[in-house]
Amino acid sequence: MFSEEIKKYSWNEVHDAIYAKTRHDAEATLSKIKYTTDDWMTLLSPAAEAYLEELAARSRNMTIQRFGKTIQLFAPIYLSNECQNICTYCGFSFGNKIPRKTLTEVEIKTEFEFLRKEHFEHVLLVTGEDAVHANPVYINHSIALARNYFSDVAIEVQPLGEAEYSMFKDSGCDAVLVYQETYNPENYKIYHLKGKKLNYNYRLDTPDRIGKAGINKIGLGVLLGLSDWRTDAFFLALHLNYLRKTYWKTRYSISFPRLRPAEGLTKVEHPVSDKEFVQLMCALRIIDNEVEMSLSTREPEYMRNHLINMGVTSMSAGSKTNPGGYATSSETLKQFEISDSRTPEQILELIEEQGYEPVWKNWDKALTAH
Ligand code: SF4
């Protein structure tokens, strides 16, 4: 389990090692074609910022070699904003006195029909962490319903046990996303104040349980803004590397959402600049050239325009972050404010303008179908 593996590393020692790297270290790392964990620290260091153009070129080439010039499109569907946890950065947090909503089967189908008409083949079903409304039976039923409409169904729901993940797999779930938010155990305690999410290790070992259940793809991520991003990215890479070796048949994706304004969120403790965001993305691509990288509508238009050719492999488009947001109800509470509100058609045009091919299906399935 990764909770055992991570004990070999100390957050503070990794942090200090990253910040001690020099331009000489950066040049030495960039002259290599294989990288050690020490090189990972260099790629993520402030010293490597001076080589951003080279990092971006390398990231772009590695991505094209592995994935071609394709960008897969997906849409999140929020099924429920019920949540029993208190996370200080999230609009769905239990303490926020907001209207709660869990979609009925009829409402779910209405959302699905809307997105099918927009040509989406790949959806991400999202719920808060709630044992009553968005429980495993509800999630499983939603997956089964979604398979009647879409070729790829991913979920981002509460961490569960191996038995539940096996059940989801049998119902047609292709991918499970579970973000650690931050790998810093001390900061984790500051942001997570109530509910099951308090258990750092249970969340940390969730990808292991997903891997054991044989789910096709696991999505990892950190929420940028909670801790020092360079150190968090190192631990994210470590987690990915461990999972690749342990569950080698599984595919992996990563995502690195930046904190966005949300109900109850007043200040971002560790902001990440645009330049730093680019370094993060390119460094992670260089560390792992096989990982899929997803970019959500949390990022503003100008960033999404520029990041398409730097390592991204999938993008959401026209997203709504409230239950029923597409076709049922526009009044329910959003998890966070999106930043890029362009329509799927506009995103499609943008991708094509940049010489990339938009792919509606899961890109792996699209390629093997040829
Ligand atoms: S981040 Fe997830 S667990 Fe935390 S309050 Fe939001 S929906 Fe609930």
Q: For a pLDDT cut of 70, what percent of the chain falls above it? A: 94
Q: Domain holding 128: CATH number?
A: 3.20.20.70
- Centre of ligand 1 to C-alpha 358, Å, is 31
Among 78, 80, 85, the mutation site with the greatest number of ligand 1 atoms within 8 A of its Cβ is 85
State if residue 159 touches ligand 1 by the CB under 6 angstroms criterion. no
Better-scored residue on pLDDT, 338 or 354: 354
Q: Which domain holds residue 112?
A: 2-368
Q: What is the distance in A from the centroid of ligand 1 to the CA of 267?
A: 17
Tell me the pLDDT of the chain averaged across its residues: 92
Ligand 1 contacts CB of residue 294 (under 6 A): no
Contact status, residue 347 vs residue 73, Cβ threshold 8 Å: yes
CA of 191 to the centre of ligand 1 (A): 11
Q: What is the C-alpha to C-alpha distance for residues 294 and 46, in angstroms, rounded to an integer?
A: 24
Please tell me if the CB atom of residue 83 comes closer than 6 angstroms to any atom of ligand 1: yes
Q: Give per-residue pLDDT as tens, 108-149.
A: 999 999 999 999 999 999 999 999 999 999 999 999 999 999
pLDDT tens-digit map of 55-101: 999 999 999 999 999 999 999 999 999 999 999 998 899 988 888 99
Point out the ligand 1 atom lying closest to the alpha carbon of residue 91.
6
Angle in degrees, CA 71, 90, 9, rounded to 5: 75
User: Of 303, 301, 302, whose CA–CA distance to 311 is shortest?
Assistant: 303
Query: Residue 370: what pLDDT?
Result: 39
3-class DSSP string for the chain: CHHHHHHHCCHHHHHHHHHCCCHHHHHHHHCCCCCCHHHHHHHCCHHHHHHHHHHHHHHHHHHHHHHCCEEEEEEEEEEECCCCCEECCCCCCCCCCCCCCECCHHHHHHHHHHHHHCCCCEEEEEECCCCCCCCHHHHHHHHHHHHCCCCEEEEECCCCCHHHHHHHHHCCCCEEECCCECCCHHHHHHHEEECHHHCHHHHHCHHHHHHHCCCCEEEEEECECCCCHHHHHHHHHHHHHHHHHHCCCCEEEEECCECCCCCCCCCCCCCCCHHHHHHHHHHHHHHCCCCEEEECCCCCHHHHHHHHHHCCCEEECCCCCCCCCCCCCCCCCCCCCCCCCCCHHHHHHHHHHCCCEEECCCHHHHHHCC
Tell me which residue of 341, 298, 291, 297 sits closest to 312, measured CA to CA: 291
Nearest atom in ligand 1 to the alpha carbon of residue 128 is 7
Give CA–CA dist 179/171, Å, rounded: 23
Query: How much distance in Å is there from the Cα of 60 to the middle of ligand 1?
Result: 33
What confidence score (pLDDT) does residue 282 get? 97
User: Which tokens sit at 9?
Assistant: 């590393």
Write the CB contacts of 327 (distance below 8 Å, at least 6 apart in sequence): 110, 111, 113, 114
- The pLDDT tens digits for 253-283 are 999 899 876 666 778 889 999 999 999 999 9
The total number of structural domains in the chain stands at 1
Residue 273, exposed/middle/buried by CB under 10 A (0-12, 13-18, 19+)? Answer: exposed
Region of poorest pLDDT, from 76-90, 179-193, 302-316, 318-332:
318-332
Q: Is 206 in the pocket of ligand 1 (CB under 6 A)?
A: no
- pLDDT-derived band at 369 (thresholds 50, 70, 90) equals very low
For residue 128 and ligand 1, the question of a CB distance below 6 A is answered with: yes
Taking the model in full, what pTM does it have?
A: 0.95
CA 39 to the chain's CA centroid? 24
169-228 pLDDT tens trace: 999 999 999 999 999 999 999 999 999 999 999 999 999 999 999 999 999 999 999 999
Cα of 268 vs centre of ligand 1, distance in Å, is: 17
Q: How far apart are CA 110 and CA 184, in angstroms?
A: 40
Q: Which of 83, 202, 206 to probe ligand 1 with, by most ligand atoms within 8 A of CB? A: 83
